[in-house]
Amino acid sequence: MTKVNLAIVYYSSTGTNYQMAKWAEAAAKEAGAEVKVLKVEELAPAAVIESNPAWKKHVDETQNVAVVTANDIEWADAIIFSAPTRFGNIPSQMKQFLDTLGGFWAQGKTANKVVSAMASAGNAHGGQEQTIHTIYTSMMHWGAIIAAPGYTDQSIYAAGGNPYGTTVTVTDQGIVEDAEAAVKHQAKRTVQVAEWVKAGLQ
């Protein structure tokens, strides 16, 4: 059987979701997938970015990460989305990318993609679950197959116990939860489900 193609599509202003994307990448490669880590295009004005040293530092450090395109979504058998919450919603950068795929969706090219999502916020009840649900709502319109982690591994409890997707709380000291193992389990599970779907479609 051919390898699963996995696109890890993230938005990150100061690096949390990029870190989660890299954890997912490592696990997915270990599971045998072909992986691309891709960022959505930054839309914030340069003056706003430069006024936040952590944001500016992260933008500079990830200059060489490719910006996701519709071609990457077409290539992918599976997609993991990772994004911070913005007032209980997804960031405008992620929404803008999804909104550009209308024509692609109309051609039926989003159907049967296996998808999963992760999120972050600055406090434990800052909208992480709603952010994931928002992504999944779009994915249901796509005709995608959602591979939520549920409670399929003990690592999920150490990361806060979110069955929809790994979510983290971020403070000045970094990620609060012990989340790396949960992210890696979620990535491997997404690859596994995509293997089942890909085998069934062949």
> CATH fold of 5-201, please?
Rossmann fold (3.40.50)
Residues 6+ apart with CB under 8 A from 98: 138
Global pTM reads 0.96
- 202, pLDDT greater than 80: no
Q: What values do phi and psi take at 20, rounded to 5?
A: -65, -40
Mean of pLDDT over the chain = 95
Q: Is the confidence at residue 1, as pLDDT, over 80?
A: no
- What's the CA dihedral at 165, 132, 144, 154 to 10 degrees? 10
pLDDT grade for 58, boundaries at 50, 70 and 90: very high
Report pLDDT digits (tens) over 25-42: 999 999 999 999 999 999
pLDDT digits (tens, 9 = 90+) for 137-176: 999 999 999 999 999 999 999 999 999 999 998 888 888 8
Q: Is 38 exposed, middle or buried (0-12, 13-18, 19+ CB in 10 A)?
A: buried
